[in-house]
C-alpha cells in the first residue's frame, strides 16, 4: 500500500473489521457443537456435572457470541458506504445469500441462544437439548450463507452481464448455491472453527488442572475437546486440500502465487516446503522441494502441469485484449441495442470484460490501450507472492501441529493421565492463541490471493470503491479501530473474569 487513497483506506478498513470479526466467529462455531455434545451426555446420563459443564462453557460462549454480533453487523453496511459501485454492479447476486443468512440462519441462531440461556427451568431436558443443537445448526448455517457469498466472489458462477442494466445478474441461483468453491470453503472454515473451540476448552481445562481447580470438570471437558478436536483437525487438512484443488481449477494465479511457481513446471510439479520468494527476479532463493507433491495436490494427476506466474501473465494479456473487444462492442451497444453484430461480438468475448476493466487504472480509452498498458494490466493480476507464500505455510504448519496436539491429548485422556502430564498441560495453555492465528492467516491467503479482483475476473478492486473523500474513510477507520479494540478488551476482561470464577462447585459424590 503506497498511498492512502480511498481504495487503499477502504480495503484497510474492511480488512481490519473482517479480521476483528473473525476473532469471534471460529469460537462460536466450535463451542456451539461442543455444548451440544456435552448436553447430550447430560441428557443421556443424568449426571449433573455435565449440566454444570454446559452452563459454564455456555457463559463463555454467550460472551463471545455477543461480541461477534456487535462486530459483524457493521460489516454488511460497509458494502454500501465504502463499496458502492461493487454493491451496484453485483448487489443482485451478492445480496441474496446475505439476506438469506439474516432471515434463515442468524435469526434462528439468535432465537435459540435466548432459549439456551433462559430456558433451563422452563423446558424439559430433551427440549433444551433440541434448542442447543438448533443453536449449533444456526451458527453453521450462518457461516454457510456468508461463505456462499464469499465463494461467489472467488468463483463467479451462475451469473451474467446484462447489457440493458449494465450490471451482473443471477442466471442460475442453483449454481451460486452449489458453487464448488463455496462448498469447499464452508467445510474447511467450519472445521477450523471446531479446532478453535476445542483448543479453547482444552487450554482453559489444562489451566484448571495445573492449578488443581475444578479437576473433574476439567478432565471431562478436555477429553471431549480432544476427541472432537482431533476429528476436526484431520478434517481441516483433508478439506483444505479440497479447497486448494477447487482453487487450482478457477484461480490458477492464486495457486501459483501461494507456491511461488514462477514458471510452468513439467508434471508433476514439486511442492516448495521452504524458500524466499523474490518477485523482482522471479525466483525463489534457497528453496526446498518435495517432488511430485504439488502436482498431485493441485491437479489430482501425475501428468498435468501447474502453470507458472510468468505464463499466466502472458495468458492474461490475451484475456485483456479479448476484453477490449467486449468493451468496445458494449460501448457500441449503448448507442444501438439492436445491433446484432455487436451483440454477437460482445457475447463471444464478455467472459474477459473484467480483464479490460483493469486498463481503467491506466487509460479512459480502454478499447484503444497500447501494448504497454496491456502488459501493465496483465502484471497487475499477480498478487503479493511473499505474503501468500508465508501465510499459507504458517497456516499449514499450525494445522499439522494441532493434529499432533490432539493426538497426544486423546492418548493421555484414554489412559486417564491428563492431570499427570504437567509439561503437556503447559503446552496446551500456550497453544491457546494459535488457532486464531491460523484462521487469520487462512483469510489472508483467501482474500489477498484474489487480488486485484473484488469479483475474480469480473470486477477489479480499484473500481469497486465508493466516490467518497479519503478523509471520511480515514475517520471511520480510526473510529472502527478504537471501537473494535474496546470490544476486544471487554471480551478479554469478561472471559478472564468468568474463567477465574470457574464452574459451579463440584457436585456431591455419586452425581458425577
Per domain, the residue ranges of the chain are 6-249+385-501, 309-379
218 has a pLDDT exceeding 90: yes
Residue 482: CA atoms inside 13 Å, Cβ hemisphere, count? 6
Dig out the grid coordinates for 345 from the structure: 461480438
- Computed over every residue of the chain, the mean pLDDT equals 91
Closest CA to 423 of 415, 412, 407: 412
88 has a pLDDT exceeding 70: yes
Distance CA 322, CA 345 (A): 10
Whole-angstrom CA distances from 184 to 236, 239, 280 are: 11, 7, 33
pLDDT band at residue 78, thresholds of 50, 70 and 90? confident
Whether the upstream peptide bond of residue 452 has omega within 30° of 0, thus cis, is: yes
Residue pointed to by grid coordinates 507472492: 385
In this structure, is the dihedral angle defined by the CA atoms of residues 207, 490, 447 and 8, taken in order, positive or negative? Answer: negative
pLDDT band at residue 45, thresholds of 50, 70 and 90? very high
pLDDT band at residue 505, thresholds of 50, 70 and 90? low
Listed in sequence order, the residues at least 6 apart from 256 whose beta carbon sits closer than 8 Å to its beta carbon are 262, 306, 307, 308, 309, 312
pLDDT (tens digit per residue) in 221-238: 999 999 999 999 999 988
510 has a pLDDT exceeding 80: no
Closest CA to 275 of 262, 287, 263: 287
Q: Report the 10 Å Cβ neighbour count for 298.
A: 27
398 has a pLDDT exceeding 90: yes
| pTM of the predicted model as reported, rounded to 2 decimal places | 0.92
Report the length, in residues, of the chain.
512
- What pLDDT shows up at residue 468? 87
pLDDT (tens digit per residue) in 26-42: 999 999 999 999 999 99
Dig out the grid coordinates for 5 from the structure: 487513497
pLDDT (tens digit per residue) in 14-27: 999 888 888 899 99
By the 8 A CB rule, do 364 and 354 touch?
no
Distance CA 173, CA 164 (A): 20
- What pLDDT shows up at residue 178? 93
81 has a pLDDT exceeding 50: yes
User: Which letter does DSSP use for residue 215 in this model?
Assistant: H
- What pLDDT shows up at residue 345? 93
By the 8 A CB rule, do 308 and 261 touch?
yes
Dig out the grid coordinates for 419 from the structure: 492431570
What average pLDDT does range 376-392 have in this prediction? 95
Of all residues in the chain, what percent carry a pLDDT higher than 90?
Answer: 71
Dig out the grid coordinates for 53 from the structure: 459443564
What average pLDDT does range 347-351 have in this prediction? 93
Q: Give CA angle at 84 (78, 87), nearest 5°.
A: 90
2 has a pLDDT exceeding 60: no
Distance CA 446, CA 151 (A): 10
SS3 272: strand
1 has a pLDDT exceeding 50: no
Range in 44-48, 110-114, 264-268, 457-461 the model is least confident about = 264-268
Dig out the grid coordinates for 464 from the structure: 469497486
pLDDT band at residue 508, thresholds of 50, 70 and 90? very low
By the 8 A CB rule, do 83 and 465 touch?
yes
Amino acid at each position: 500500500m503506497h498511498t492512502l487513497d480511498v481504495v487503499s483506506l477502504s480495503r484497510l478498513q474492511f480488512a481490519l473489521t473482517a479480521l476483528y470479526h473473525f476473532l469471534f466467529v471460529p469460537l462460536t462455531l466450535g463451542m456451539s457443537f461442543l455444548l451440544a455434545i456435552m448436553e447430550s451426555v447430560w441428557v443421556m446420563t443424568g449426571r449433573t456435572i455435565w449440566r454444570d459443564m454446559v452452563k459454564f462453557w455456555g457463559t463463555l460462549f454467550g460472551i463471545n457470541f455477543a461480541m461477534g454480533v456487535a462486530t459483524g453487523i457493521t460489516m454488511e453496511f460497509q458494502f454500501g458506504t465504502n463499496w458502492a459501485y461493487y454493491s451496484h454492479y453485483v448487489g443482485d447476486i451478492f445480496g441474496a445469500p446475505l439476506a438469506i443468512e439474516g432471515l434463515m440462519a442468524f435469526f434462528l441462531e439468535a432465537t435459540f441462544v435466548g432459549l439456551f440461556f433462559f430456558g433451563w427451568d422452563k423446558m424439559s431436558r430433551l427440549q433444551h437439548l433440541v434448542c442447543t443443537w438448533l443453536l449449533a445448526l444456526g451458527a453453521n448455517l450462518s457461516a454457510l450463507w456468508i461463505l456462499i457469498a464469499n465463494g461467489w466472489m472467488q468463483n463467479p458462477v451462475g451469473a451474467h452481464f446484462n447489457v440493458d442494466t449494465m450490471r451482473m445478474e443471477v442466471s442460475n441461483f442453483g449454481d451460486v448455491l452449489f458453487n464448488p468453491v463455496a462448498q469447499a470453503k464452508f467445510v474447511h472454515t467450519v472445521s477450523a472453527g471446531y479446532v478453535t473451540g476445542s483448543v479453547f476448552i482444552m487450554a482453559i481445562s489444562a489451566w484448571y488442572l495445573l492449578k488443581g481447580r475444578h479437576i473433574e470438570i476439567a478432565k471431562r471437558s478436555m477429553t471431549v475437546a480432544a476427541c472432537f478436536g482431533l476429528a476436526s483437525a484431520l478434517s481441516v487438512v483433508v478439506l483444505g486440500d479440497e479447497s486448494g484443488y477447487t482453487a487450482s481449477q478457477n484461480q490458477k494465479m492464486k495457486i501459483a502465487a501461494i507456491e511461488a511457481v514462477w514458471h510452468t513446471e513439467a508434471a508433476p510439479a514439486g511442492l516448495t516446503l521452504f524458500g524466499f520468494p523474490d518477485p523482482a527476479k522471479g525466483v525463489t532463493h534457497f528453496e526446498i522441494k518435495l517432488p511430485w507433491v504439488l502436482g498431485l495436490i493441485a491437479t489430482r494427476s501425475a501428468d498435468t502441469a501447474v502453470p507458472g506466474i510468468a505464463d499466466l501473465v502472458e495468458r492474461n494479456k490475451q484475456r485483456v485484449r479479448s476484453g477490449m473487444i467486449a468493451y468496445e462492442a458494449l460501448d457500441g451497444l449503448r448507442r444501438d441495442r439492436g445491433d446484432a453484430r455487436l451483440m454477437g461480438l460482445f457475447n463471444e468475448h464478455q467472459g474477459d470484460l473484467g480483464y479490460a476493466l483493469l486498463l481503467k487504472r491506466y487509460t479512459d480509452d480502454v478499447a484503444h490501450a497500447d501494448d504497454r498498458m496491456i502488459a501493465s494490466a496483465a502484471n497487475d493480476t499477480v498478487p503479493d507472492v511473499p505474503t501468500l507464500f508465508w501465510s499459507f505455510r504458517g497456516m499449514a504448519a499450525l494445522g499439522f501441529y494441532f493434529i499432533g496436539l490432539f493426538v497426544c491429548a486423546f492418548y493421555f485422556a484414554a489412559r486417564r493421565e491428563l492431570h499427570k502430564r504437567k509439561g503437556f498441560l503447559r503446552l496446551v495453555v500456550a497453544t491457546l492463541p494459535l488457532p486464531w492465528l491460523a484462521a487469520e492467516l487462512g483469510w489472508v491467503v483467501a482474500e489477498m490471493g484474489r487480488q486485484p479482483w473484488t469479483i475474480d475476473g469480473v470486477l477489479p478492486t480499484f473500481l469497486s470503491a465508493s466516490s467518497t473523500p479519503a478523509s471520511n474513510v480515514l475517520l471511520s477507520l480510526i473510529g472502527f479501530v478504537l471501537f473494535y479494540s474496546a470490544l476486544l478488551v471487554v471480551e478479554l476482561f469478561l472471559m478472564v473474569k468468568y474463567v477465574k470464577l470457574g464452574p459451579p462447585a463440584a457436585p456431591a459424590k455419586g452425581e458425577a
